[in-house]
Amino acid sequence: MSEIVHRQVETNGISMHIAEAGTGPLVVMHHGFPGLWYSWRYQLPALAAAGYHAVAVDQRGYGRSDRPVDPALYDADYVANDMLGLLDALGEEKAIFVGHDFGAQLVWNLSVRHPERVAAVVGMACPYDFDLAGRGGMGSKPKQAADGFQAEFAVADMKPSEVFALAAKRHFLHLHYFQTIGPAEKELGANPREFLTRLFWALSVRGNLLDWTKFPSEGTGYLDVLAPPEMPLPWPWLSQEDLDYYVAEYTRTGPDTTFIGGLNSYRVADRNFELGAKYADSNVEVPAAFIAGSADPVLKMIRPDAIDIMKSRCTDLRQISIIPDAGHFVQQEQPEATNVALLQFLATLR
């Protein structure tokens, strides 16, 4: 089995931590929130054994990578340029990009905005044309409202943050709660273990994602809408040692920046909406695949035709794999099945 090697790479003005294994065609994996390079701990050795140079990154704002505080330094251009700089640092013209959650948003954007650097793309959990910050088109073209990701408000002429604020007049909405710098840092930074435990549980196959529309905005924090786990660790997919690693890596820099990468990704929704306007109708034309858990609550919340839309917007969509008995964290909850699906797609490129 190939050893996983860790190092720091200078890219786009930051120091980025990467974990890598194997040699061959380059496959770069991007986590979401909450996540780390460690979210790909099962994929790194499998890809290396199959003849690939597998790289998993700590995104800007996470783990051992630099954590700028200014939200403006997390917009779609910045995170894309992080990846272009990583390719340059690795001496590669292009790579196969794999992304989960916010990482999926990143790799879909890369495939549209910098197709010359993308050999192929794999989105996990979030299909193309869906934006985790609450609107369609990867932050570019409004297609749905933020309220439960359902079309409850007319949003065509509104910024994402205005949609979030409108929804928050009726009930708690984490998208709105995260917009203000301070409250989320204070709440989640003071309770990192509890937050990670509750969110990992809520989004997993056995979890229970509470209906935030039943909570008022006033006086409600994010932990209030995340139910405690119904079973102690270890879970089938997450051990106590796994959680300890996540907590240790997130808390390396103190409470104010513990979750800065994820929080700032939500805070650039308006900026990404502006940056993405000219790509609103762009299709993904590189070879593509989509992988998700059958019980992923994110898939359940977004518009029911999201996968059909993705099919129409990806001109070379070679594979859709819906993995049984998996929630949002599909590559960790069902690593073997995910690896099989991933390697099946990669085989079509050779």
Closest CA to 262 of 55, 9, 58: 58
In degrees and rounded to multiples of 5, residue 226 shows phi and psi of -115, 115
Q: Which of 66, 101, 147, 296 is catalytic?
A: 101
Is 296 among the residues known to form the active site? Answer: no
Q: At what angle do helices 76-90 and 102-113 cross, to 10 degrees?
A: 70
Is 328 among the residues known to form the active site? Answer: yes
Note whether 21 and 47 are within 8 A (CB): yes
Per the DSSP assignment, residues forming a β-bridge with 54 are 21, 27
Q: Which of 30, 31, 53, 328 is catalytic?
A: 328
Burial of 116-128, coded b for 16+ CB within 10 Å and e otherwise, reads: ebbbbbbbbbbbb
Q: Quick one: tokens of 339?
A: 């690896």
Active site residues: 101, 328
